Structure 1
Amino acid sequence: MLVKVAVVQASPVFFDIQQTLDKLEACVATSAEQGCQFILFPESFIPGYPRKFTFGAKVGIRTDAGRELYLKYWQNSLQIPSSELIRIEQIARDYNVYLAVGVTERDALHGSLYCTLIYVSPTEGYLGKHQKIKPTGVERLVWGEGSGKDSLRVFDTSLGRIGGLICWENYMPLARMSIYQQFPHIYLAPTADARPTWPATLQHIACEGRCYVLGCNQFVERSDYPADYQPFLDEDEIVVSAGGSAIVSPQGEFLAGPLWDEEGILIAELDMDNVLKSKLDFDVVGHYTRPDLFAFNVSKVQDNG
């Protein structure tokens, strides 16, 4: 089976969920016109990855201005369920595509935020989500640790088995193994890491998991930040996130990208037979294991399907 996929490297409209949804739909329309069946958006595309934001916090100190900024970020984050999620479901139906979208998810009851990847089907609507289980560094100021319940999972779709992890979760070997155990054909790795070393991580996952890997990052320039937020940036900073999105084969070869220093949509046609062919000489959860020596178990807090 051949599956045409797209990876969107773009900046959202910062801290504005409605305008960001407009941009998301425009990117989906462009990709669908080229025959894409699955489209991936970056980490926290809605309402924007809060790179360089301090939210007025220092050790032992929080400011009123920082709390106001958190409130605005919270108000423009995605609630599940919500009218905004219904719109994303409608976009998937209208263009007949599967979507995976990186969002900041808000908990309407408790007020917490989480870094989340949502999955949406053109026929079934919202399928489920993965919450980042370990926010990195200062991300922990605004994002809580995600629940493992129903989160570390791979979704069985008409295009194949699709799942993955967010950003530096992919540096957690046991988290990767929890995904590999569910036999993904397409592994998603949305990120905010724009270092030149990141594409090698995508290649490693592809070779290790013997699956297609879609890496997706935002391209962000200083001008993408509203004027009120530009003081958070360094004075001479023009490019805030250079991107580095890519699509990688099960043998670790780049099929598209890495894309640097510009917005763009990467497209590739994936031959699903190559997933099986690549397992001739390596299968991380099959013939290349030693269960007599090593045991791996995931805490039974999620449904592995």
Structure 2
Amino acid sequence: MVTTQRQFKVAAAQVDAVFYDAQANLVKIIALIEEAAAAGAKLVVFSELALSGYPFHIWLKPYHEQLPYIEDFYTKAAVEADGLEMRALQATCVAHRIRAVIGFSERDGGSLFMSQWLIGPDGDVVVRRKLKPTSLERIVYGEGDGSDIRVHETELGRVGLLQCWEHAQSILKYTMSSQHEELHCASWPVFPAQLPHHSLSQQGNSAILTAYAIETGTFVVSASSYFSQQNLDKLFGAQGGPLTVGSGWTTIIDPEGRTLATAEHDKTCIIYADINLDACYKAKSVLDPLGHYARRDVFQYV
């Protein structure tokens, strides 16, 4: 039986992930884990693909122009789930007694997956893969098999993690909630206003995330990256392009949908919030879709 803390500090790290350079990002991530631990946080969450940088070329370049970027992604950004990078992050979490969620581009043979590590202060490691890459992400990434859609019993209560538009999948939310999740870790990429679909925007996704907190009665710790000038130069060169510096959106939300902390959109930083997991009970006393607010006599799930 795991003995859990109920009151503690959580953190979300917003970092300008260097595109296609896992080693450069590893240095940044380790430094931010150490900073969060020094500030007293027991958990720190990083963005989707924080270790590799998000492959924005898939949204911005014709396919025949993407091949050099894809080759870079395989050789410079993707890592194996149990490789040296994981070992370095594991050692950092153990040394500083902190739990961390880090997004990375996982290379498994000839395939890539959008994956997350959940690394504990005792060195325990969970790896999960995004169930369904979104839209053009399927050019680069394979699908998860669903075996890792689990809430984990930890020293910080019942912890779950998802990525990006997994939060928009109703059955996924129900599955997480059915495992009595208390603390949810959400990893997102960048939220540029110039993408061609408003539902991909900061406004659209902030609504999705607030709804997740309210519907599931959980604390949500959500991290994104942001565009730096270095990122934009990597994508477009000297001629420039349609994207601008910024577009980060990192936030912490309580189980009733209140925003506890939000980062500025254009800088590397860590945001913090002090939480009490007993607040999940208060939220669920009013809205518990798995209990008193359910109608299992009407609906059946197979």
Alignment of 1:86 with 2:92, yes or no, is no
SS of residue in 1 equivalent to 2:12: strand
Do structure 1's residue 179 and structure 2's residue 180 form an aligned pair? Answer: no
Instruction: Single out whichever of 246-255 and 185-194 deviates more from structure 2.
Output: 185-194
Match of 1:303 in 2: none
Range with greater deviation from structure 2 (243-252 or 190-199): 190-199
Q: Which runs of 5+ in 1 are unaligned?
A: 298-305
* C-alpha RMSD over aligned residues: 2.0
Query: Where has structure 1 moved over 4 Å in runs of 4 or more?
Result: 53-57
1:300 maps to none
Shift of the 94–233 alpha-carbon distance from structure 1 to 2, 3 Å rule, reads farther
Is 2:40 the counterpart of 1:35? yes
Structure 1 residue 296 displacement after superposition: 2.5
Deviations along 1:48-70, one digit per CA (max 9) or x if unpaired, are 01113469753xxx46xx44432
Cα deviation code 1:85-131 (max 9, x no counterpart): 11111111111100111111111x2x1111111110110331x1221
Counterparts of 2:252 and 2:268 in 1: how far apart (Å)?
15
Please list the CA deviations of residues 145-197 of structure 1 after superposition, one character each: whole Å capped at 9, or x if unmatched: 11212x11111100111113211111110111111111111112211252231
Aligned residue-pair number: 286
Q: How far did residue 212 of structure 1 move?
A: 0.4
The structure carrying a bigger strand percent of its residues is: 1
Q: Report 1:278-297 matches (<5 A).
A: 278-297=283-302
Partner of 2:73: 73
Give yes or no for contact 2:263–2:269 (8 Å, CA) kept in 1.
Answer: no
Contact 1:165 1:176 in 2 (8 A): no
Match of residue 208 from structure 2 = 201
Is the 2:215–2:289 Cα contact (8 Å) retained in structure 1?
yes
91-100 vs 74-83, which deviates more?
A: 74-83
Corresponding residue of 1:218: 225
Q: Name the CA distance, whole Å, in 1 between partners of 2:266 and 2:237.
A: 22
Note if contact 1:100-1:119 (Cα within 8 Å) is conserved in structure 2: yes
The alignment partner of 2:159 has SS state of strand
| Structure (1 or 2) with the greater helix fraction | 2
- State the secondary structure of the residue aligned to 1:170: helix
Q: 1:54 to 1:272 in 2, by over 3 A?
A: closer
- Do residues 116 (structure 1) and 115 (structure 2) align? yes
From 246, 255, 261, the counterpart of 1:256? 261
Would the aligned equivalents of 1:92 and 1:125 in 2 still touch at CA under 8 Å?
A: no
User: CA distance change for structure 1 residues 247 and 236 in 2, over 3 Å: closer, same or farther?
Assistant: same
Query: Which residues in structure 2 correspond to 1:120-135 (within 5 Å)?
Result: 120-126=119-125, 128-135=126-133
For residues 70 and 289 of structure 2, the distance between their equivalents in structure 1, rounded to whole angstroms, comes to 42
Residue 276 in structure 1 maps to residue 281 in structure 2: yes
Q: Is the 8 A contact 1:199 1:246 kept in 2?
A: no
SS of residue matched to 1:220: coil
